[in-house]
Amino acid sequence: MQLDIIQSVGEGRDTLGLLPTGGGKSLTFQVPALAQSGICLVVTPLIALMKDQVEHLNRKGIKAYAIHSGLNYGEIERAYDNCIFGDYKFMYLSPERLSTRLFLEKLAHLKVSLLAIDEAHCISQWGYDFRPSYLKIADVREHLPVCRCWH
């Protein structure tokens, strides 16, 4: 199943990957992202998940960064600039971050190869864990015409 998802993303198709917890979902967007130039934006709802993934990637020598509410404005701006200049391969951020003025300003300068939406079930308005900010992802997607999406 992982291989099918990786191939679909690698072939440039928007892809929905459904795997159980612990099923290796992260690999299905990380592998194709590593094979391409540019940065992979990973939208995820929890800071703990961001930090865990970034730590895991950094231990493997892969440059990744999480932009979250625990950072000050200067740290966030520096992180975006580092992403623009190719210093990071993965940038993890919350869905709420997508609608900030600073993100939208920097987005025009980012070479985004892949937009990965982790915990995509939060998009559904039917569930108890619905986050309205996930609906803003479509607006961001419009600014990324050549990038693939993984959900």
Specify the pLDDT at position 91: 96
Q: In what order do the strands lie in the sheet with 112-117?
A: 64-67, 90-93, 39-43, 112-117, 148-150
Q: How confident is the model at residue 55 (pLDDT cuts 50, 70, 90)?
A: very high
Inform me whether the pLDDT recorded for 20 exceeds 90.
Answer: no
Give the per-residue pLDDT at 126. Answer: 53
Confidence class of residue 25 from pLDDT cuts 50, 70 and 90? confident
Query: What is residue 119's predicted lDDT score, i.e. its pLDDT?
Result: 61
Amino acid at 130: F
Return the percentage of the chain with pLDDT > 70, whole number.
81
Strands (E) in 54-109, as ranges, are 64-67, 90-93
Domains of the chain are 37-150 (3.40.50.300)
Q: What is the pTM of this model?
A: 0.81
Note the pLDDT of residue 122. 44
pLDDT attached to residue 131? 61
What pLDDT, in 10s, does the model give residues 57-74?
999 999 999 999 999 999
Assign 127 a pLDDT band (cuts: 50, 70, 90): low
pLDDT at 150 over 60: no
